[in-house]
Amino acid sequence: MKRYHPFLVTLHWILAIVIAAWLLMGSNVLSEMPNSDPEKINSLKVHMAVGIGILVFMLVRLVVRLRSQKLAPVNTNTVAINKASTLGHYALYTVAIMMSVSGIVTAQIAGLGDIVFFGSGVPLPETFEGIVPLVAHEVLSVILMLLVAGHVLAALYHQFALKEKLFARVWFGNRQ
Question: What is the span of the domain harbouring residue 44?
Answer: 6-170
**Percent of the chain predicted with pLDDT > 70:** 99
- What per-residue confidence (pLDDT) applies to 88? 94
- What per-residue confidence (pLDDT) applies to 100? 97
For the chain, the domain total comes to 1
Query: What value does the mean pLDDT take over residues 133-151?
Result: 96
Max Cα–Cα distance, the chain, nearest Å: 60
The distance in angstroms from the start CA to the end CA of the chain is 5
Alpha carbon of 111 to those of 101, 116, 128, 148: distances in Å?
Answer: 15, 9, 11, 31
Residue 176 is assigned to a structural domain of this protein? no
Asked if 47 and 22 touch (Cβ cutoff 8 Å), the reply is yes
User: Which tens digit of pLDDT belongs to each residue from 147-169?
Assistant: 999 999 999 988 998 888 888 89
Residue 120 is assigned to a structural domain of this protein? yes
Residue 123 is assigned to a structural domain of this protein? yes
Residue 112 is assigned to a structural domain of this protein? yes
User: How much is the pTM?
Assistant: 0.90
Query: Who contacts 31 (Cβ-Cβ below 8 Å, separation ≥6)?
Result: 138
- What per-residue confidence (pLDDT) applies to 139? 96
